[in-house]
Amino acid sequence: MKLIIHGGFFSESATNQETKKAKQDALGRIAEMAGQFLKGHTALETVVYAVSLLEDDELFNAGIGSQIQSDGKVRLSASLMEGKSQKFSGVINLENVKNPIQVAAKLLGTDDRVLSGEGAQIFARKQGFADFNPITPQRMKEYTLKLNQQERKGTVGCVALDADGNLAAATSTGGKGFEIPGRVSDSATVAGNYANIDAGISCTGVGEDIVSGALAAKIVTRVSDGFTLAAACEKSFAELQSIDGFAGVIGISAKGEMYHCDSHPYMVWASFDGNLQVFN
């Protein structure tokens, strides 16, 4: 049983040691809680649990504390994929919901498994998800001051391997901030979140770069084709470099390999396999 989580890229962590430590501490706490949860639950249940905890922590750009778009609204995207069943579900540009990953989990059992905008919100309300405003005072301050959000590329994610050898991946984001309403993130696509019976990957970074590189699906496919997880990641990132792509990934293979890599420093992540590790 293993899991790995990430909290996206945080440029401020490079200079603000207090912020950096707060995020590391939060990731460590959440990874340990999710690791204990995994002992009695499936990989699918665990990644939803872990990403929900990340969405509930305003240090991260997902759920509470998400970036505000150019029209003053927060729109959330999240997706979920189980390796064994090969089912993928997701929500795109969902408004006024606390935990988009939990809405994605509800969609996994439906015929129409990826919903966007108003349709996603109507579905969430029918499933009992209450109206919730995810804007925090800090995000409103950033929006009001029109900070350069291009330096705050953030997403959260989890990949887990359970006791039965099943893999699952989940990813959630609040976007990049000040984007055009309607912009689609990679996080609710197979470019940003993908799993099969051989590996699972969750991505963070610039969504357009990740989609251009079909990153998560490409890495997992290479593992299925015989690459080690590390080799699959390294080859895919070498290709991403040709477009100067900005991305980071976490992953686990069915063989138990755990790996992370990024094209720029300061992706914060943690893992739990009986022992807790927290890195940046």
Residues 224 and 232 sit within 8 Å (Cβ to Cβ): no
Radius of gyration, alpha carbons of the chain? 17
The arrangement of strands across the sheet holding 193-195 comes to 193-195, 199-205, 247-253, 258-262
User: 46, 155, 189, 204: which is the annotated catalytic residue?
Assistant: 155
Angle at CA of residue 202, ends 149 and 269, nearest 5°: 70
Residue found by looking up tokens 């029209």 in the block: 71
Q: Establish whether 144 is a catalytic residue.
A: no
- At residue 192, φ and ψ (nearest 5 deg) are -105, -15
CB-based contacts of 126-134 (< 8 A; 24+ apart in sequence): 127/103, 129/97, 129/98, 129/99, 129/102, 129/103, 130/98, 131/96, 132/96, 132/97, 132/98, 133/74, 133/96, 134/63, 134/64, 134/65, 134/66, 134/74, 134/76, 134/96, 134/98, 134/174
**Residues designated catalytic:** 155
